[in-house]
Amino acid sequence: MNLMLTSQARLRALYGRAGAERVLDAAEQLRLARVLRGAPSRLVVIEQGAPDRDVPAALVTPDGIARQVAAISAALDRRETLLESVLLIGGPEIVPFFLAENPTPYDGDAAVPSDGYYGAANPYALLPDWAVGRIPGAAGPDPALLIQLLETAAGLGVLQPHEKVFGYVTEVWHRAAEIVYAEVDDPAHLLVSPPALAASFDRSRLDGARLIYCNLHGVPEGPPWYGQSEAQPALVAALRPSDLAGLDLHGAIVVSEACYGALVAGRTAETAMPLAFLAEGAAAFIGATAISYGPTAPPPGEADLIALHFLRALKQPGITVGAAFLEARAGLLRDTMARQSTLDEDDQKTLLEFVLYGDPTLVVV
């Protein structure tokens, strides 16, 4: 069973009663589409719970939601049914992130926004019991983007990410990125910044891509992702939301290692790269909500391992996007423990900060 979860009260507070009903109608259409795809699903409003499963209403707080999801999982267990995934409907203003304590307080992040808290019966577990995804919307009182993304997810069939692969990396990390990208394509095909720049970006390289890997810099102050030379520390704009406008990204899967690459709170498709990718039809986006870590040269570590194991998992025909994300997290834990027998602070942060935007039940072939 696959759970879909949202807050009717918060939808109404942000979008009004009519807007909230439009979102709930689109969510129900997605639920029906999932059933037809062979992914039985249930839509639960947090404030209502699941009375037929003796699961009560909950407060729309991370603790309340986590307890409710765990209770639904336990109720399914009693019927010998597994909870396979959770899809959160709405951005953090609708279904809040869990603001985890930052394991690396010296980097300046006050907290680490995370959806991993909703992924296990024990929300503090290092590895989740089920996949968690989120379909976010744009900031403000217009539900149009959230409805668009729900409708896009409902209309998607199987994903074929290897039809066209695109990779874009900063020069200073290109050696580490080549190891990751080699999972899916010849590293010689990587676009490197610099010399590649947003101002002269060849959009045809990205148009029609179905699997997109980016290892670029991100900053919390603005939407662009940046390149950096090995010789000069200054950042140069490599990719902006406007560079995606009008491209065919229908059904694409995007993997980003950028710091703050998955920031969506208070943002729109014009001011956040993940929302820009999703608005142009991307099916899934994997990225970090805070400062991400990784080496400049092999062997891969931290964010590199998330990306590497996710791309590796996508080569398994029939795997879901959510299951591939679970394998990425498990791969990071396994490789890191084998190398150093412990998780240091930046490894812990990596497990917390990477999130999936998109429907985790979508199947890859």
pLDDT at 121 over 90: yes
Mean pLDDT of 102-131: 96
pLDDT at 251: 99
pLDDT at 128: 96
For the segment 195-241, what is each residue's pLDDT rounded down to a tens digit? 999 999 999 999 999 999 999 999 999 999 999 999 999 999 999 99
Report the C-alpha gap between 250 and 149 in whole angstroms. 11
Reported as a pLDDT band with limits 50, 70 and 90, residue 101 is very high
Q: Exposed, middle or buried: residue 123 (CB in 10 Å: 0-12, 13-18, 19+)?
A: buried
Mean pLDDT of 327-347: 97
> What is the DSSP annotation of 196-223?
--GGG--HHHHTT-SEEEEE-EE-TT-S
Question: For 208, left (φ over 0), alpha (ψ -120 to 50), or beta?
Answer: left
For the segment 75-84, what is each residue's pLDDT rounded down to a tens digit? 999 999 999 9
Q: Which of 82, 9, 7, 2 is nearest to 37 (CA)?
A: 2
Tell me the CB-side half-sphere exposure of residue 306, using CA atoms within 13 A. 32
Report the C-alpha gap between 247 and 278 in whole angstroms. 11
Strand (E) or helix (H) holding 287: strand 284-288
Using a cut of 0.85, tell me whether the model's pTM lies above it.
yes
For the segment 260-318, what is each residue's pLDDT rounded down to a tens digit? 999 999 999 999 999 999 999 999 999 999 999 999 999 999 999 999 999 999 999 99
Q: Which tokens sit at 336?
A: 């890191």
In which residue ranges of the chain is CATH 3.40.50.1460 found? 161-358
Give the sign of the dihedral formed by CA 186, CA 247, CA 149, CA 98.
Answer: positive
Backbone angles phi, psi at 120, to 5 degrees: -155, 155
Backbone angles phi, psi at 327, to 5 degrees: -65, -35
In which residue ranges of the chain is CATH 3.40.50.10390 found? 2-155
pLDDT at 126 over 90: no
| Residues 216 and 239 sit within 8 Å (Cβ to Cβ) | yes
pLDDT at 202: 97
pLDDT at 250: 98
pLDDT at 177: 98
CATH topology of domain 2-155: Rossmann fold (3.40.50)
Report the C-alpha gap between 73 and 121 in whole angstroms. 8
Is 161-358 a CATH 3.40.50.1460 domain?
yes
For the segment 162-205, what is each residue's pLDDT rounded down to a tens digit? 999 999 999 999 999 999 999 999 999 999 999 999 999 999 99
For the segment 22-75, what is each residue's pLDDT rounded down to a tens digit? 999 999 999 999 999 999 999 999 999 999 999 999 999 999 999 999 999 999
pLDDT at 151: 99
Mean of the per-residue pLDDT values of the chain: 98
pLDDT at 147 over 90: yes
